Amino acid sequence: MQLEKISENKVAGGWHQRWQHDSSAIKGKMTFAIFLPEKAKKQPVPVLYWLSGLTCTDENFMQKAGAFKQAATLGMAIVAPDTSPRGDDVADANQYDLGQGAGFYVNATQAPWQSHYQMYDYVAHELPELIESHFAVNNQRAIAGHSMGGHGALVIGLRNPSRYSSISAFSPICHPTECPWGKQAFSAYLGDDEQTWQAYDATVLLAQGPTAMPMLVDQGDKDGFLAEQLNPQALKQAAEKHNSPLTLRMQPGYDHSYFFISTFIDEHLAFHATRFAR
């Protein structure tokens, strides 16, 4: 698969690069960003896949989270894909929470979305295969994300426990089948049969059976979306049902922004690095 480099910047002794490629899952061009620490010049390094939230692209986390110094210290690559397909031929809804910028990391089955909106397959399968065949990384993977991306990280990690060593999330949409964002997106992408929605709901997945996957979730208690959209307590209750290893930290005074993420991102990277070491 051919890759086209869009840009490159040296940072924290390593390199931040943006790449574009033709995706077989998406049936169109996709963009991703990668941070490669200096250690990658000497040996393959583990990878953290970061999934961003509504309205974001591959650029938000890389520019705002302040993760590079810690990732360089830990010898960890970070890969951040876009949040949905893009382009004039890609279906859109002209609203921030559906369509382009709002792929919800599902495989859409309904028209007009199913032609391109196969973000689950792209993130879980195609992207790691591409990264591992073109960059100095090994097959140790972790997955993390924010908001809609936190939902994606939890779901993809829980559905693929042999592929990831750990999951973390900031302000994730924990129970999308029971919140306005999730109901709208799943109705559009997956149709009216709510049974099909459950495969993309982390709370439902955790309630169905135990997992040994270590999970870290940070949630600000001043988050304006907390009450209506996020529901971390439902995730906690589902994890407790089978004693699954979830750490949920309610962080006083923090909101939904990258100010919150930048405050605790070093702890999340260290959390994943410890699991890589095991």
Q: Which of 171, 201, 223, 268 is catalytic?
A: 223
CA dihedral 59, 149, 73, 42 (to 10 degrees): -80
Q: 121 catalytic, yes or no?
A: no
Under 8 Å between Cβ of 198 and 204? yes
Q: Which of 84, 147, 166, 168 is catalytic?
A: 147
Q: 23 catalytic, yes or no?
A: no
Which two structure tokens, joined as six digits, stand for 110?
């309904």
Q: 262 catalytic, yes or no?
A: no
Contacts 24+ apart (CB under 8 A), 100-103: 101/54, 101/55, 101/56, 101/57, 102/54, 102/55, 102/148, 102/185
Which residues are marked as active site?
A: 147, 223, 256
